[in-house]
Amino acid sequence: MARQLDEQIAGRYPVGRRLRILDVGMGQGTQALRLARAGHQVTGLEQDATMIAAARESLACEPDGIRERMRIIEGDGRDTGVHFLPGSFDVVLCHGVLMYVEEPDPLLAGLARMLAPGGLLSLLVRNGDALAMRPGLSGDWAGALASFDTTTYRNRLGLDVRADRLATLKATLAGIGAPLHTWYGVRVFTDTAADGAEVPADLESLLAVEERAGRTDPYRGIAALLHLCGVRG
Ligand SMILES: C[S@@+](CC[C@H](N)C(=O)[O-])C[C@H]1O[C@@H](n2cnc3c(N)ncnc32)[C@H](O)[C@@H]1O
């Protein structure tokens, strides 16, 4: 996913340009920190105090130059308009967050407003078109059958959350002025791997297969997650 994001950034902006990046629901800040290390000016917005503390701890270990390029704000991703001016970011990330938001459209509209013209909106969502894959591949037939006609699912933490369908998000993105530009599948073959499973010896091959499948029909359509890139008109 990081590779896909870097590719989208590289396709839109000259190498070396310091981009203004907003990471909404940044969690522990893994992606935000990676982008700050790459030279960008990153703002992380996160509502969970424990996550914020973890992100601050990681940031504290970084050299001054990187610490100065990253700011962390505690707040709700639905309130971007309270914290920032419209059009003040080149890239807005919202990865692994939409699952937890009951009504995604107002959040997404707010994120699109934060983008400068030509800016990139990067979303990572649970694929609502392929929810039967995980239970089905695990031999949970009742669970698989129940997954066809719904966009809610129980995640690995035991929470009942939301998935998003590609066609619905495509329509939403068009409606908020950040039409879908590119989309990828993420975790096509690896979704049923147990949490904490040992890293396979042929990790490079696994990543190459996932990378390829995530860009290739029909595989990407049944991925566990969808990575959608919209571009502000
Ligand atoms: C699954 S984690 C993803 C973290 C990170 N973006 C990543 O990709 O690794 C989801 C994060 O979104 C945060 N979150 C959920 N709803 C949010 C909201 N409305 N505003 C801000 N953060 C939110 C959660 O607190 C959590 O840290």
pLDDT tens string 48-83: 999 999 999 999 999 999 999 999 999 999 999 999
DSSP state of 222: G
- CA–CA gap between residue 131 and residue 50 (Å, rounded): 30
How much is the mean pLDDT over the chain? 95
Least confident of 29-38, 48-57, 157-166, 191-200: 191-200
CA 77 to chain centre: 13
Q: Which ligand 1 atom sits nearest the alpha carbon of residue 48?
A: 25
- CA–CA gap between residue 122 and residue 23 (Å, rounded): 9
The pTM for the full model equals 0.95
| pLDDT of res. 199 | 83
Which residues lie with the beta carbon below 6 Å from any ligand 1 atom? 25-27, 30-31, 46-48, 51, 76-78, 95-97, 100-101
Q: Cβ(85)–Cβ(59) under 8 Å?
A: no
Nearest-CA residue for ligand 1 atom 14 is 25
Q: Which ligand 1 atom sits nearest the alpha carbon of residue 77?
A: 20
Instruction: Please state the rounded mean pLDDT for residues 100-119.
Output: 96
The residue to mutate among 97, 103, 156, 186, having the most atoms of ligand 1 within 8 angstroms of its beta carbon, is 97
Instruction: Please state the rounded mean pLDDT for residues 162-185.
Output: 97
DSSP state of 200: P
Residue 200 CB partners (closer than 8 Å, separation 6+) = 206
Q: Examine the pLDDT at 195 and tell me if it is beyond 80.
A: no
Find the radius of gyration of the CA atoms of the chain.
Answer: 18
Quote the tokens at residue 184. Answer: 């990828």
Q: Which ligand 1 atom sits nearest the alpha carbon of residue 124?
A: 8
Which residues, listed in sequence order, are joined to residue 161 by a DSSP beta bridge? 153
* Interval between CA 77 and ligand 1 midpoint (Å): 9
* Interval between CA 202 and ligand 1 midpoint (Å): 31
Report in angstroms the alpha-carbon separations of 212 from 20, 201, 218: 29, 19, 11
Q: Which ligand 1 atom sits nearest the alpha carbon of residue 27?
A: 27
* Interval between CA 170 and ligand 1 midpoint (Å): 22
Q: Cβ(44)–Cβ(29) under 8 Å?
A: yes
Residue 149 CB partners (closer than 8 Å, separation 6+) = none
Q: Examine the pLDDT at 118 and tell me if it is beyond 80.
A: yes
What is the pLDDT confidence band of residue 173, given thresholds at 50, 70 and 90? very high
CATH architecture of the domain with range 2-231 = 3-Layer(aba) Sandwich (3.40)
